[in-house]
Every structure is written in structure tokens, then in C-alpha cells.
């Protein structure tokens, strides 16, 4: 790990006593020195981060639910992309090593993008351990409970023209068109949403690599992705200025809703 100077571990994990595991692959804020040295001024604000996901789900431990949380920014390596970087969507998106922001401006100054050697080390010391740990933890949970559920927790700005038209619903569920989990899981999480939140299942976001790879219902391992609109919890005015703060009026409402969702997942029995 010291070969790329990782200032903190690749991820944090907390084991739970529940069939459910929550993954947070895009909330990391740390950078390697090589990535940090090459970032454009705009990219230094890390605008495409899944902001405050660990804070929003800080109730997990009280429910006995385990989680794995990435510590590095997706600009270092995107943990929700396949190791071989094959495209997940036919529409425009970013890859394993993003080179553009969601507004299509460059992440790196000309000539300052990370080297191929750096990318290879990131794959070895960040991507592989994160995915290997998910695999091991799901196997542990399945052995204990007879099945396991992976809940991949994400968030995104409500409007991202490069990725989708218009304004995103509040809750965007992805089950890889029904292939990554039993239909009972999508059914129960959508039923507990309060009427003032909007939602869609398998809309623009059908689930990234983590959901598609680990979701194997025939093997008693289920996976569902939630892409949460940041309009549900960020301070809108600050976000317009590329400054990211929790809205303390919205926070208790969205956290209660997320807690209801997680508890609903725990109630699904196979």
C-alpha cells in the first residue's frame, strides 16, 4: 500500500449481525498524492462525490447492520466499475478512472493525469481489497443466515444533463432490471416510502457493477442499489455554489425514511 502512499486504509468495515450489508463506494474524500497533484481547480472540490452518505446512514450500527465504506474519492478509482473497465451503460458515463466531471469538464490538468503504474496500483490496493471484502462478508452472512442482501448506497445531484434529462426522482432504485435481487426486496422498499418522496425502479440507474456482480438471487445473494437525489438532504443554495452542506431541516426527515428502508430490507425473509 505504501507504494502509492495511501494516507488512510482503502476502506472501513463494520461487521453486523444481520443478513444485510450496506456498501458505500462513492463517499470517500481522500486522494493519493499523484491524483491530488493533477486535479483541476474545479475537480479539487470533488463535486461528484456521494456527499454525506456515511452520515445519513449513521444509524446502521444501532440496527445491527454491517457496512463497508470506501475512503478514497472516485477520482482515484471508481469502485462501482468493473476491473476491466467495460462500459455499464450505452449512454454517456464515467469509467474506472474518470477523466471528466459530470459537467463534462476535465478532472485533470493537461499532462497531469495519473500514470498507468499508479492506476495499476490503485486496482491492486484499493479496488481488489474492497471487492474481496464484500465477497467475504456476503459469504459470511449467507453462511449464518442462509442468504445475504447487499444494499449499495449512493447519491447524486438532482440534475446532471450529461447523464440524464430533467430532474431525477428522489429515490432511484436499481435491481439490474430485476436480475440482481428477488422482487420482494424492491417491492418492500418502495412500499415504505412516504408520499412526498418520488421514486422509480430501474430508471436511468439500474445498478452499477457492485449490484450487477454480487446480486445472484439463484445463489441466495441479493443486491439492490439506491441512487438518492441530493436534493433530499443537501443545502440547495450552497450546492449551487459547489459547496456541500447537510440541510439540518431535511436531514431528520430523510434519515427516518432511510431507516425505514433499511428496516424493511431486514424484514424480508427467504
Q: Residues 152-161: pLDDT tens digits?
A: 999 999 888 7
Per-residue pLDDT for 270 more than 80? no
Best CA proximity match to 29, nearest among 67, 58, 72, 70: 72
pTM, full prediction? 0.95
Digit-coded pLDDT (tens) for 201-253: 999 899 999 999 999 999 999 999 999 999 999 998 988 888 999 999 999 99
**Percent over 70 (pLDDT), the chain:** 97
Mean pLDDT of the chain: 94
The domains located in the chain, with CATH, are 2-267 (3.40.630.40)
pLDDT in the model for residue 1? 40
| Element housing 199 (H / E) | strand 199-201
Tens-place pLDDT, residues 20-75: 999 999 999 999 999 999 999 999 999 999 999 999 999 999 999 999 999 999 99
Geometric angle at alpha carbon 208, from 75 and 180, rounded to 5°: 155
CA proximity to 52, closest of 267, 204, 265, 238? 238
Whether the per-residue pLDDT at 108 is higher than 90: the answer is yes
2 has pLDDT over 60: no
112 by DSSP, 3-state: which?
A: coil
The rounded distance, in Å, linking the Cα atoms of 247 and 255 is 12
Compute the distance between CA of residue 151 and CA of residue 265 in angstroms, rounded to an integer.
9
Amino acid at each position: 500500500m505504501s507504494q502509492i502512499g495511501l494516507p488512510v486504509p482503502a476502506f472501513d468495515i463494520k461487521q453486523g449481525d444481520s443478513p444485510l450489508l450496506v456498501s458505500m463506494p462513492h463517499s470517500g474524500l481522500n486522494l493519493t498524492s499523484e491524483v491530488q497533484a493533477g486535479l483541476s481547480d474545479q475537480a479539487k472540490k470533488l463535486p461528484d462525490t456521494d456527499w454525506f452518505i456515511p452520515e445519513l446512514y449513521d444509524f446502521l450500527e444501532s440496527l445491527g447492520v454491517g457496512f463497508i465504506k470506501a475512503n478514497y474519492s472516485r477520482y482515484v478509482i471508481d469502485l462501482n466499475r468493473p476491473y476491466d473497465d467495460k462500459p455499464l451503460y450505452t449512454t454517456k458515463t464515467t469509467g474506472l478512472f474518470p477523466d471528466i466531471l459530470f459537467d463534462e469538464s476535465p478532472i485533470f490538468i493537461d499532462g497531469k493525469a495519473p500514470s498507468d503504474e499508479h492506476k495499476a496500483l490503485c486496482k491492486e490496493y484499493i479496488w481488489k481489497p474492497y471487492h474481496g471484502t464484500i465477497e467475504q462478508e456476503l459469504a459470511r452472512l449467507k453462511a449464518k443466515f442462509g442468504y445475504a442482501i447487499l444494499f449499495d448506497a449512493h447519491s447524486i445531484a438532482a440534475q446532471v444533463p450529461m447523464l440524464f434529462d430533467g430532474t431525477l426522482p428522489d429515490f432511484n432504485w436499481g435491481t439490474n432490471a430485476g436480475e440482481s435481487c428477488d422482487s420482494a426486496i424492491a417491492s418492500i422498499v418502495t412500499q415504505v416510502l412516504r408520499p412526498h418522496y418520488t421514486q422509480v425502479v430501474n430508471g436511468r440507474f439500474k445498478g452499477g457493477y457492485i449490484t450487477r456482480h454480487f446480486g445472484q438471487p439463484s445463489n441466495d445473494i441479493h443486491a439492490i442499489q439506491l441512487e438518492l437525489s441530493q436534493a433530499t438532504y443537501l443545502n440547495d443554495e450552497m450546492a449551487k455554489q459547489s459547496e456541500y452542506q447537510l440541510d439540518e431541516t431535511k436531514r431528520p426527515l430523510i434519515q427516518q425514511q432511510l431507516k425505514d428502508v433499511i428496516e424493511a430490507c431486514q424484514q424480508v425473509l427467504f
